[in-house]
Every structure is written in structure tokens, then in C-alpha cells.
Structure 1
Amino acid sequence: MMTAAARIGIDSCPIEGVNKEKISDVLVAEGIMDSEHYGVSVMAAFGYRLHAPTDKTRRCAQEVVAWVE
């Protein structure tokens, strides 16, 4: 789903650390999901970015690493 979204210009991000049981309870209570046939396996956020991504800048290792002997 995330790959398909990217192909049509929609950004996505997987969400970790969710309480699947609570999410399932909400979806069932709202009539969105039938827990007898379906369950929550993954969550992801989808949307459009406000600004174009900027070029990544990285500092060289010598600037950020200090070796301790």
C-alpha cells in the first residue's frame, strides 16, 4: 500500500508501538471493522508534503566522532 501511494505522489510513514487491541476496539465500536473477519496488522500515516524535500547534508565522520583511547 505504501509503495502504491508513493507511485501516485502520496507520502507515507509506518507507525510503530501502537496498541493493536485498543485500535481494534475503536474500529469495531465505530462500525469500521468486523473483528470476526479482520484485524489490525500495521498502521501507517498517509498524506501530502507541504514543501519539497531539501538536499540532505551530512557532516564528515571526523566532525562528529571522537575516539577515546
Structure 2
Amino acid sequence: MTDHKAELYASDLAVAIWRKASASGAEHDCVEIAENIPALIPVRDSKRPTGPVITFTAHAWRTFIAHLD
């Protein structure tokens, strides 16, 4: 049995356009987000672009960002 959500998620990430955080240092040790995936905010470690991806809903991402200060 195939997990339909997993298939959609994988195809979404295949077309992700990643952007490094503006605060990325000279060594580029930062996070990247993909903003072109509807309903998801994928986040990954810029040092490991083929590594794991964490996804947030738009609401969860805004809440997370609001608590960083």
C-alpha cells in the first residue's frame, strides 16, 4: 500500500527552491527554507542539503519565528 501523502511530499520537495537565511555566516552554517511549496514550509540544514527536512505548516512556522527573539 502506498502512502499518498508521502508521495505528494516527495514530489513537492523535488521542486523546492531553497533560500538560505539572510543571517547566514561566511561559512554558510545556517538553515534554508523553501517558500514555493503550498501549505508547507520545508526547512533543512544548509550544510546537509541532502539530509533530513523538517516541515511546518504556515501557522506553525510563524509561531516558531515569533518566539526566536
Task: Please confirm whether the aligned pair reaches a TM-score higher than 0.5, indicating the same fold.
Answer: no
**TM-score, normalised via structure 1 length:** 0.27
- TM-score, length of structure 2 as denominator length: 0.27
Structure holding more strand per residue: 2
Higher relative contact order (CA 8 A, sep 6+): 1
